[in-house]
Structure 1
Amino acid sequence: MGLDRRDALTGIAFAAAAAAITGPAKAAEAGGLRHQVFFWLKRPGNAEDRAKLVAGLKTLAAVPQVRALHVGVPAGTEQRDVVDSSFDVSELMLFDTIADQKTYQEHPAHLAFVKTCSPLWRKVVVYDTVPA
C-alpha cells in the first residue's frame, strides 16, 4: 500500500517546516525518527499555561540530537470525523536515530522541561515513527 494523499501532504508540509526551522542541509539529513507528542492542559484554554508549555517546548531545540522541532497548537481547520483537535499543544521532533531519541530523553534540558512543565498537563500522548 502506497502513501495516501494525507500522508503525502503531511510529509511535504513537515519537510518544508523542517527546512524553515533548521535550514535545508539539516532538514535533508534529518528524519530517521519522528517523535510526535500531544499535550492536553489541566486547564484547557488557559492562555498562560499554553504559553508556558509552548515556551518550555521551544527550549528543547537546544538539545544537540534534535534535528528539527515544530511546536504547534490546533490549526482550526475544518472539523471532520478524522480530525482530532482536542489537544492543546503539540510538538514534532526529528532525530537521526532511535539512539539519538533515547539520548534526548535523558538530556538535562529534557528532564528540566518535564520537571517544570509537567504540572501544566493532564495527558500526554506520544507517537514515535520511523520511515516505512
Structure 2
Amino acid sequence: MSKLSRRNFVSKSSLVAAAALATPAMALAAQDDKDIFIHHVYFWLKNPESAEDKKKLIEGLQKLSTVKTIQKFYIGKPADTNRDVIDRSYSISWMLMFKNKADQDSYQVDPIHLNFVKECSSLWQKVIVYDSVSAV
C-alpha cells in the first residue's frame, strides 16, 4: 500500500466528507417529487409562556417522529422576522415529509400518533394543519 502525502490525504478526506453530506440531498432529489406529501402542523399552546408546556410538546413530537412512514421532520418555533405577511402567533410548528399520501394516511391512524394526541392535546388551544402536494 502506498504512503499518502498529507495533501492527498486532506484532498481525499474532503471528497469523502462532501459525498457523505450530499448523499441525503441527492436521495431526496432522486425521489419522484410529484408524490411527496408535506404535512405542516401549527400549535398554539394554552399557556404560551410556559417553558414546561413547550418542552412537553416538543418531547411528544420527538416521540411522534418515530412513526415509520415519516421521511423527514422538523420541529420549529416562530422565527424572529417581522413583516405584514408573517404570522408569529403560534408556539410550535411540526413539518413532516411523507413519500406519498398513502404514507400520510397511515400516519394518521398509527398508534404512536393516536397516543401523542391523547397525551399532548391538553397542552394546546388551537391547531392548524396545512397539507400540500406538488403543483407541477
Give the superposition deviation at 1:34.
Answer: 0.4
Query: TM-score normalized by structure 1?
Result: 0.78
Which of 60, 64, 72 is 1:56 aligned to?
60
For the residues of structure 1 that align with 2:72 and 2:28, how far apart are their CA atoms?
7
Cα distance per residue 1:37-90 (max 9 Å; x no partner): 00000111211001110111111221110000000111112x111010000000
In structure 2, what is the equivalent of residue 111 of structure 1?
A: 114
Segments of structure 1 that go 5 or more residues without pairing to the other structure are: 1-19
Equivalent pair of 1:53/1:117 in contact (CA under 8 Å): yes
Give the superposition deviation at 1:27.
Answer: 3.2
| Number of corresponding residues | 111
Q: 1:53 to 1:26 in 2, by over 3 A?
A: farther
Q: 1:46 to 1:64 in 2, by over 3 A?
A: same
How high is the sequence identity, in percent, across the aligned residues? 45
Which of 81, 101, 112 is 2:104 aligned to?
101
For the residues of structure 2 that align with 1:104 and 1:64, how far apart are their CA atoms?
8
RMSD: 1.9
Instruction: Say which SS state the counterpart of residue 36 (structure 1) adopts.
Output: strand
Give the superposition deviation at 1:26.
Answer: 5.2
- Structure showing greater radius of gyration is 2
